[in-house]
Amino acid sequence: MCQIKTLLYYEEMESVIGPLTIIATENGICRLDFGSMEDNLPSLRSWMAKHFIKGELIHSPEYLADAVQQLNAYFAGNLHEFNIRYDLFGTAFQKKVWNQLTSIPYGLTCSYKEVAQGIGAPKAVRAVGSANNQNPVPVFIPCHRVIGSNGALVGYGGGLDKKEILLSIEQNSCKKTS
């Protein structure tokens, strides 16, 4: 039996929210992890075992140069929408939620309830929260723009401090352009 090897390219970068590790297949970005590759390697290996028969990690700054450039422009407040190809692994429901998150305008926020309504499942607020938490490419898919119905910052995989920084970048950038 022939096992096909899946190449996974990665690059690490520093950002205003700390180190980030970007991972991509040949089809697009599949993960953005908070922390260094060393920090994330155990969970990454587990994720790879779940999704690939045989995966190989290759450090490739060239392959991910555009993603790094777009993230740097975003963090500087100069990029409001990413032009990235994704290769996302998740359920149909999760992908529906992640797609909905991309429709939240830069600099604005909405509640989990509004996201649930946006996908036509108004009673699925908790499931939306769970899908939001499973977003494999935070920042690129702006799960940080989802807040509690009372306007409070709640739940962010990278920590509420990072969520606050990301929202601040967007709100300050919007103030400059208005």
Q: How many helices (H) and strands (E) does the chain have?
A: 6, 6
110 assigned to active site: no
Q: Which of 2, 30, 110, 143 is catalytic?
A: 143
CA trace torsion 154, 157, 159, 162 (10° rounding): -100
Main-chain dihedrals φ then ψ at residue 78, nearest 5 degrees = -105, -5
* Contacts (Cβ under 8 Å, ≥6 apart) of 176: 77
Catalytic residue list = 143
